Chain A
Amino acid sequence: DIQMTQSPSSLSASVGDKVTITCRAGQTLSNYLSWYQQKPGTAPKLLIYGAYTLETGVPSRFSGSKSGTDFTLTITSLQPEDFATYYCQQSYGPPWTFGQGTRVEIK
């Protein structure tokens, strides 16, 4: 299985802050990576696929990037509705695997 390691596991931030979450893959993935947002008691929501492409309807303050085997989710100007847990997921090879999650909390 392809191991996905997210960092940090949690962070505290304020409304308006810029937040960066990193996901490191155990091997090269090309651009085969997605990001999800999950709020308590709800299903994950797809934010970004193909490492960079914003899903329809997702605000432009979310963006994805890549450097080697490191992938980054950036949220510019954090909004109250952005406090949630974020997961990365590799789609390079089955079994499809997720990172362990990053919880974004209110400071």
Chain B
Amino acid sequence: QVQLQESGPGLVKPSGTLSLTCTVSGGSISTNNWWSWVRQSPGKGLEWIGEIYHTGITNYKPSLKSRVTVSVDKSKNQFSLKLDSVTAADTAVYFCAREVRYYGPAFDSWGQGTLVTVSS
């Protein structure tokens, strides 16, 4: 059973870069799956950020596209998120998730989530 685990700094300064890594265990990242980042602001709903396939193909939420980079490291079975020029509005719990595609993507496996606070 695949497991995902987010890691990275829990505090980022305004205008800085948020960097998180998701480590996949119990299965290869090079399967026929896409891998996503989803965030949840405190007390709010879920927001999809972007996704990557093991070949490096990416898709991003248009409103975040200018600030987001998702990358993959197949040798480490990891994928990563970088979000530039962060503000307090980027404070959220960040989840990594695996997609399965039956009728488009559904997120069937999730990391536990990691809280990232943007503050000076």
Contact = CB atoms under 8 A, between A and B. Distances in A.
Classify the secondary structure of A's interface with B.
loop
B26 interface: no
Interface stretch (A16-24, A26-34, A73-81): A26-34
Contact of B45 (A93, A94, A99): A99
A7 to B, nearest CB: 14
Contacts of B73: none
A91 B103 contact: yes
Q: How many of chain B's residues touch chain A, expressed as a range?
A: 20 to 34
B46 A91 contact: no
Contacts of A34: 106-107
B109 to A, nearest CB: 8
| Top 4 closest pairs, chain A to chain B, by CB | A91-B104, A43-B110, A49-B106, A50-B103
Interface of A: 1, 30-34, 36, 42-46, 49-51, 53, 55, 87, 89-101
Interface of B: 36, 45-48, 59-62, 95, 97, 100, 102-108, 110-113
Given A42-B112, A43-B111, A98-B48, 6 more contacts: A36-B107, A91-B103, A93-B104, A95-B48, A100-B45, A101-B46
28 contacts: A1-B61, A30-B103, A31-B103, A32-B104, A33-B103, A36-B107, A42-B112, A43-B111, A45-B110, A46-B106, A49-B106, A50-B102, A50-B103, A51-B103, A53-B102, A55-B108, A87-B46, A89-B107, A90-B104, A91-B105, A94-B59, A95-B59, A95-B60, A95-B62, A98-B45, A98-B46, A98-B48, A99-B45
